[in-house]
Amino acid sequence: MKHIVGLLTTNYLSTSQSEITSRRPLAALPVLGRYRMLDFALSNMVNAGIKTVGMILPLNYRSIVDHVKSGKDWALDRKHAGLFYLPGTPYGLARRGDGRFLLRDFLDNRAFLDRERDSYVVVSGGSIIYNMDYLPLVEEHIKSGADITVVTKPATMETSGLISFSISEDGCVKDYKKGTKPGDTAFLDTFVVSAEKFLELLDLYQALDHLDLFEAIASEKTLVSVQAFEYDGPAFPVFSLQELYSISMALLNPELSGLLFDWARPIHTKAHDNPSAKYEPGAKTSYAMVSGGSIVAGTVENSILGRHVVVEPGAVVKNSIIFENCIVKKGAKLDHVIVDKNNIIPEKTELKGTREHLAIKEKQMRPPKASEFVF
């Protein structure tokens, strides 16, 4: 097997305009309590034995770098190889969720590919929740002799974020369109290409550098052979707040999250030094994910709590997602709410959304003081 390197692209925002998803890069969106979206693709790379990962950053990279830092939690803090932060172009943010594989971003970072000339490159976006073994993908790619092999999965729902392919009988990609409908062959934003071929393609498409790689390929279909590789594990694309919500709720199901969190291929995330979650006498919890440092004294039902969230006595959190460093004060009631970081929900506040129209509490800049977490 040839050497494999990873390339993770994070230079894009959400297509939806909600504050929670539009302020931060989609790859840095907190999910399932203690993860960020990019943890999944990055862990997949590391779990495939990949030791060199380039990460193309958006201009607003603070939250990504704060999360990944030296790559230590993914064992990517190597003396040789390891994690390489690659600057993305400003253009990424302008195109929002559209264009995860901008040619400009790749062209600006040719140096990374030049160094890895003899390797295969597994390229992934940072907004799919999945746990995939990349090795069969690379093997299949080598066997088929295609220029590019893309990871696909039959779409089960309508999305606007993903793109879908039409595939010929021999598994070749014939055409592509934006969005998926049930039954379409959805592109999971993951592909493999040899570095050599990748560099060739970059030369070929240099004049079209304002396009996404796949837009460029679609414009001259005969030039590049693209093979599809179907992935049969769980995959959940998150491009909007609605998708974040429905997927989070779905993953409260033990069977589904059991499939995702395969113990043989752990999803790594930034380690925090907080004590384990604590449940007080009188607490009621069911169907919940509760993260470290959190204290539950009230009721938490069908909900996900990030790190360091306090639900005070008499407070009720239902069908909601609460990001890290929040306090739900005594008697407050939340139903169908997404609470972004650093919020204090005052006593007896009632916030109620619906599945279609979630109530939102936007991020506060300053986390509550340690003394405020005591009730």
Partner 1 sequence: MLLAGGQGSRLLALTKNVAKPAVAFGGKFRIIDFALSNCANSGINTVGVLTQYRPYVLHSYIGTGAAWNLDEDDGGVSILPPYETESGGSWYAGTADAIYRNLDYILQNDPEYVLILSGDHLYNMDYAKMLAAHKKNNADLTVSVMPVDWSEASRFGIITKANDDAILKFSEKPKEPDSNLASMGIYIFSSKELIAALRKDAKDEKSSHDFGKNIIPDMLAHKKRLFCFEFNGFWRDVGTISSYFETNMALLGENPEFNLYADDAPIMSNAPTTPSQLIGEKARIENAIVANGVRIYGDVENAIISTAAYVAENAEVKDSILLPNSCVWEGAIVHNTILGERSVIDPGLVVGSDSDETTVIGNDVIVDKEYLEKLIADGKAPRPSSYKKAKSTIKKAVAQKGGGQK
CB 320 within 8 A of CB 334: yes
Position 331 contacts partner 1 (CB under 8 A): no
Contacting partner 1 (CB under 8 A), which of 297, 321, 328, 339?
297
Those residues whose C-beta lies under 8 Å from the C-beta of residue 195, and which sit 6 or more positions away, are 5, 113, 116, 117, 118, 119, 120, 121
Position 97 contacts partner 1 (CB under 8 A): no
Q: How far apart, in whole angstroms, are the C-alpha atoms of residue 62 and residue 73?
A: 18
Position 247 contacts partner 1 (CB under 8 A): no
CB 317 within 8 A of CB 298: yes
| Two structure tokens written together for 202 | 């970059």
Contacting partner 1 (CB under 8 A), which of 266, 347, 354, 357?
266
Contacting partner 1 (CB under 8 A), which of 76, 288, 326, 334?
288
CB 11 within 8 A of CB 107: no
Q: How many residues bind partner 1 (CB under 8 A)?
A: 47
Angle at 283 between CA 375 and CA 325, to 5 degrees: 50
Position 267 contacts partner 1 (CB under 8 A): yes
Least distance to partner 1, CB of residue 37, Å:
14
Position 295 contacts partner 1 (CB under 8 A): yes
Instruction: Give the DSSP letter of residue 122.
Output: E
Q: How far apart, in whole angstroms, are the C-alpha atoms of residue 119 and residue 38?
A: 23
Contacting partner 1 (CB under 8 A), which of 24, 67, 153, 268?
268
Contacting partner 1 (CB under 8 A), which of 90, 136, 233, 282?
282
Least distance to partner 1, CB of residue 328, Å:
16
| Two structure tokens written together for 234 | 């769980």
Give 36-81 as a DSSP string.
Answer: ETHHHHHHHHHHTT--EEEEEEPS--HHHHHHHTTSGGGT---SSS
Contacting partner 1 (CB under 8 A), which of 1, 207, 365, 374?
374
Span near partner 1 by CB under 8 A; candidates 139-147, 259-267, 332-340, 346-354: 259-267
Residues forming beta bridges with residue 226, ordered by sequence position: 148
Element (H, E) at 255: helix 254-260
Span near partner 1 by CB under 8 A; candidates 195-203, 216-224, 271-279, 314-322: 271-279
Instruction: Report the length, in residues, of the chain.
Output: 375
Contacting partner 1 (CB under 8 A), which of 247, 283, 359, 360?
283
Comparing CB distances to partner 1, the nearer of 108 and 301 is 301
**Identity (one letter) of the amino acid at 304?**
I
CB 341 within 8 A of CB 364: yes
Instruction: Give the DSSP letter of residue 171.
Output: S
Position 257 contacts partner 1 (CB under 8 A): yes
Comparing CB distances to partner 1, the nearer of 40 and 120 is 40
Comparing CB distances to partner 1, the nearer of 207 and 374 is 374
| Window 32-61: residues binding partner 1 (CB under 8 A) | 32-35
Position 315 contacts partner 1 (CB under 8 A): no
Give the binding site for partner 1 (CB under 8 A). Answer: 32-35, 72-73, 252, 254, 257-258, 261, 263, 266-269, 271, 273-293, 295-297, 304, 370-371, 373-375
